[in-house]
Structure 1
Amino acid sequence: MGVSALDYFFSEKGWLFREQTTHDYGIDAHVEIVENLRPTGKLIALQIKSGQSFFNEEVGGAYVFRTDDKHIAYWVGHSMPVVLVLYNPETKQAYWQHVSRETIETTGKAWKILVPSISIFEEPD
């Protein structure tokens, strides 16, 4: 559901959404930025997590996403910017965070990423 919702969102904006239908290791889709109706060659890798369970832990206006060493190493070392997207199928909203050394936090045993609780589907004021 999350992949479909993001495909619709980016397609509606005119950006090119390409789902990774083959076996992936932490990247579900690529999005190519389009400016003035022209593809730019600038790509973003998306890791999309869908489900109510990703919204059980919230702190300071952000959802807490927990993950392991292998995914953090893969995302931080990726050749493209990686964006983690949490999709809530109950509210049909999606939330995002760029995965970088500045946005990841060690817990001692694993890692966490704080994903701001501002939906990408909401229009800015």
Structure 2
Amino acid sequence: MQLPKRDPKHVTETKSFKVFSRNIPDNWIIREVSERDYGIDCYIELVDKNDQVTGELISIQLKGIRTIKWTKSDYYTFTGIKISTTNYWMKFPTPVFICLVDVDSEEVFFTPVKSTVRKNFYSYIKQDDFSYKVHKKNSLSLL
């Protein structure tokens, strides 16, 4: 009897969320969203070092990769995000971070959307292809 097979991309997505959850500080609060089709996978409510809930939120877009292939300068260029998605993130009232999850090493690296757009504004205003550099030094494990 044949049964449906789970798409390997879906397995990577599920694993990336689990890895992300294990890599953030234990006192941060994950606020999951039910609709993930538009570029936000979850919100994080930050809790300070005195365990006070701050009300400060950040938006997270997770991107899972089996193994990140870093350049010699220790960055990875993430391409393939639609310019419409970047435009959407730029309108968000909360800071948006792309979190690149290496599912094999179980490490998470991040890049802020708005500062990336500001640094590469001339490329952004073309409203064509836009890519994000994720630097190895921006590891969640270093927070």
Please tell me the TM-score bracket, short chain as reference: 0.7 to 0.9
In the alignment, structure 1 residue 85 sits paired with structure 2 residue 85: no
The residue type paired with residue 118 of structure 2 is E
**Would you say the 8 A contact 2:24–2:140 is kept in 1?**
no
Partner of 1:32: 45
Distance 2:82 2:70 in 1: 17
Select the residue among 63, 66, 69 that pairs with 2:76.
Answer: 63
Select the residue among 5, 9, 16 that pairs with 2:29.
Answer: 16
Aligned residue-pair number: 121
1:107-118 correspondence to structure 2 within 5 Å: 109-118=128-137
Q: CA deviation at 1:23?
A: 3.9
Distance 1:20 1:116 in 2: 27
The residue type paired with residue 38 of structure 1 is Q
In the alignment, structure 1 residue 7 sits paired with structure 2 residue 21: yes
**Would you say the 8 A contact 2:19–2:103 is kept in 1?**
no
Partner of 1:47: 61
Q: Give the unaligned 5+ runs of structure 2.
A: 1-14
Distance 2:30 2:22 in 1: 9
With the length of structure 1 as denominator, give the TM-score of the two structures: 0.82
C-alpha change, 1:95 and 1:45, in structure 2 (3 Å) is: same
With the length of structure 2 as denominator, give the TM-score of the two structures: 0.73
Distance 2:76 2:93 in 1: 26
Larger Rg: 2
More helix by share: 2
More strand by share: 1
**Would you say the 8 A contact 2:107–2:140 is kept in 1?**
yes
Distance 2:72 2:111 in 1: 15
Question: What is the root-mean-square deviation in Å for CA atoms of aligned residues?
Answer: 2.3
Structure 1 stretch 61-70 or stretch 100-109: which is displaced more? Answer: 100-109
Select the residue among 108, 114, 117 that pairs with 1:94.
Answer: 108
**Would you say the 8 A contact 1:62–1:117 is kept in 2?**
yes
Partner of 2:87: 73
Distance 2:113 2:34 in 1: 22
Fraction of identical pairs, as percent: 22
